[in-house]
Amino acid sequence: MNNAFNIGKVFGISLRLHYSWFFIFILVTTSLAFGGLYPPGLPLWQGMVGGVITSLLFFASVVAHEITHSLVARRYGIPVHSITLFIFGGVAKITKEADRPGAEAVMAAAGPFSSFVIAGIFGALWLAVHQSGIEVATSSIYWLAYINLSLGAFNLIPGFPLDGGRVLRAILWKSGGDYRKATRMASLTGRGVGYLFILGGLGSAFLLQSWFQGIWLTFIGWFLENAASSSYRQVALRDTLLTIKAANVMTTDCMAVLSSMPLMQIVREHILPAGRRCFLVTTDSRLEGIITLSNIRAIPRTRWETTTARDAMTPADRFKTVKPDDDAYSVLSRMEENDLDYIPVADGEQVLGLISRESLLHHMRTRAELGI
Ligand SMILES: [Zn+2]
C-alpha cells in the first residue's frame, strides 16, 4: 500500500500506518470521548484520555488480528512483508497465496479467532473490574470486548476477501479442486456482500435518516465490492501469467553498450534515433548492469558528457536474472519484490534478452484483445 510509513517491527514484520488511518483514529477517538460511552458529568479530560487510550487499544487489537494471520502464514512457509493500518482496518501483505486449501482455511480463520480471544480477555477483565466504580475504565473495557467480538464476527462474513470468504474459498477449492473457480465463486459472494452493505447504507441514510452510519456502511460496501472484484482479477491474471514463459515475452534486440560509453553518446546515437529505452552495459561482453532512461534522467544533463554508462547504470548484482523457462508470474513477482522495471533473462552467464514491466503489460493487453 502506498502513502504509508513504517512505525516499527513486530515479530520481524514491519508495521505501517497509511495516512487514511489518522482519519479513522480521530473519528474513533472523538466518538469514544464524546459519543455517550462514558457517563454524563464526567470531566472532559477523563473522557479524552479514556478515548485516546481505548482507541489505541482497539487498533492494537486490529494489529493483533493481522499478526495472528501473519504468524500462521509464516508457519506454512509464506513470508509476510508488512502489516498496514488504514481507514478500513488492517491488512497484512502476505507475499503469496497458500498452495493448499487446508493452509488457506487455517490462515484465514486465525484472525477472527484471535479477535474472539481478545474479546474474551476484555470480557474477563470487565467482570473483574465492573464493580470497582472506575467508570471510564469499565466502560472502555466493555466497549473493547464488544468491538473485538464484532470485528471477529464481521470478518467471518463469507464474502471474499474477508476472512470468512477465504474460508469459503478454501472449502470450495477443497471440494472442487479448482482454485480459480473457487476464487470466482467466493469473490461473487464478496461482491454480493458489498452490494448488501451499500443497500443497507443507503437505506439507513435515506429511510432512517442516520446519515453518518449510512454513508459509512455504503463506503464499506463499496470497498468490499472493489476488493472482491480486483482480487478475482488478480487470480485470473496470475493464472494467465503462469502459462507464459519468460522467453516468450523478452525482447532480444536489446542493445549492449560499453560500460565506458558516456551518457551523451548513448542519448545521441541510440536513444534519440532509434527510440530505444534500455541497454545492457557490458565489458568484454560480460554483463555489468542495465541502463534505462530513468537512470540517465537521474544524472543532471550538464554531466552527460563526463558520466559513463557504468556510473549511471543499475549494477547487475542489484537484480537477479531470470531463466528463459521461468513463468511470467514469478518474473513479475521478482520485479515487484525488488522494485525493478526491467529484468534480464539469462541462461547461465549468457544474457538472452530483457523483460520490461511495460512489455509484459503490452503482451497481456495484446492477448486480451485477441481473446486468448
Ligand atoms: Zn482477518
CA of 41 to the centre of ligand 1 (A): 38
Q: Residue 295: what pLDDT?
A: 87
CA of 317 to the centre of ligand 1 (A): 38
Task: Please give the distance, rounded to the nearest whole angstrom, from the Cα atom of residue 35 to the centre of ligand 1.
Answer: 27
In this prediction, residue 71 has a pLDDT band, given cuts at 50, 70 and 90, of very high
Between the CA of 239 and the centroid of ligand 1 the distance, in Å, is: 25
> Could you tell me what percent of the chain has a pLDDT over 90?
33
Residue 337's pLDDT is what?
72
- pLDDT, one tens digit per residue, over 298-332 is 899 999 999 999 999 988 777 678 888 888 888 88
Give the per-residue pLDDT at 292: 84
Domain 246-370, what fold?
Answer: CBS-domain (3.10.580)
SS3 string, the chain, reads CCCEEEEEEECCEEEEEEHHHHHHHHHHHHHHHHCCCCCCCCCHHHHHHHHHHHHHHHHHHHHHHHHHHHHHHHHCCCCEEEEEEECCEEEEEECCCCCCHHHHHHHHHHHHHHHHHHHHHHHHHHHHHCCCCCHHHHHHHHHHHHHHHHHHHHHCCCCCCCHHHHHHHHHHHHHHCCHHHHHHHHHHHHHHHHHHHHHHHHHHHHCCCCHHHHHHHHHHHHHHHHHHHHHHHHHHHHHHHHCCEHHHHCECCCEEEECCCEHHHHHHHHHHHHCCCEEEEEECCEEEEEEEHHHHHCCCHHHCCCCEHHHHCEEHHHCCCECCCCEHHHHHHHHHHHCCCEEEEEECCEEEEEEEHHHHHHHHHHHHHHCC
Tell me the pLDDT tens digit for each residue of 93-131: 876 777 889 999 999 999 999 999 999 999 999 999 888
Give residue 111 CA to ligand 1 midpoint distance, Å.
4
Cα of 343 vs centre of ligand 1, distance in Å, is 34
- Band of residue 55 on the pLDDT scale cut at 50, 70, 90: very high
pLDDT at 153: 95
Residue 82: pLDDT band with limits 50, 70, 90: confident
Give the model's pLDDT for residue 334.
81
pLDDT tens-digit readout, 19-39: 989 998 998 898 888 877 887
Ligand 1 centre to CA of 11 (Å) is 18
Which residues place a Cβ less than 5 A from the ion ligand 1?
A: 111, 155, 163
At residue 1 the predicted structure's pLDDT band, cuts being 50, 70 and 90, is: low
The average pLDDT across 137-158 equals 93
Instruction: Give residue 57 CA to ligand 1 midpoint distance, Å.
Output: 17
Where does the pLDDT of residue 188 fall: very low under 50, low under 70, confident under 90, or very high at 90 and above? very high
Q: Cα(190) to centroid of ligand 1, in Å?
A: 14
Is 160 a residue whose pLDDT tops 90? no
> What's the pLDDT band for 46 if we cut at 50, 70, 90?
confident
Give residue 364's pLDDT: 82
Cβ pair 100, 41 in contact under 8 A: no
pLDDT band (50, 70, 90) for residue 199 = very high
Task: Compute, in angstroms, the gap from residue 117 CA to the centroid of ligand 1.
Answer: 14
pTM value? 0.72
Decide if pLDDT at 198 tops 70.
yes
- In the predicted structure, residue 88 carries a pLDDT above the cut 70: yes
Q: How far is the CA of 206 from the centre of ligand 1 (A)?
A: 31
Cα 63 to middle of ligand 1, angstroms: 10
Instruction: Give residue 154 CA to ligand 1 midpoint distance, Å.
Output: 9
Question: What's the mean pLDDT when you consider all of the chain?
Answer: 87
Confidence of residue 157 (pLDDT cuts 50, 70, 90): very high
Cα 366 to ligand 1 centroid, rounded to whole Å: 37
CA 329 to ligand 1 center in whole angstroms: 26
Kindly give the distance from the C-alpha atom of residue 245 to the centroid of ligand 1, in angstroms, as a whole number. Answer: 34
How far does residue 89's CA lie from ligand 1's centre (Å)?
9
Distance of CA 74 from the midpoint of ligand 1 (Å)? 15
On the question of pLDDT at 58 being above 80, the answer is: yes
pLDDT of residue 12: 86
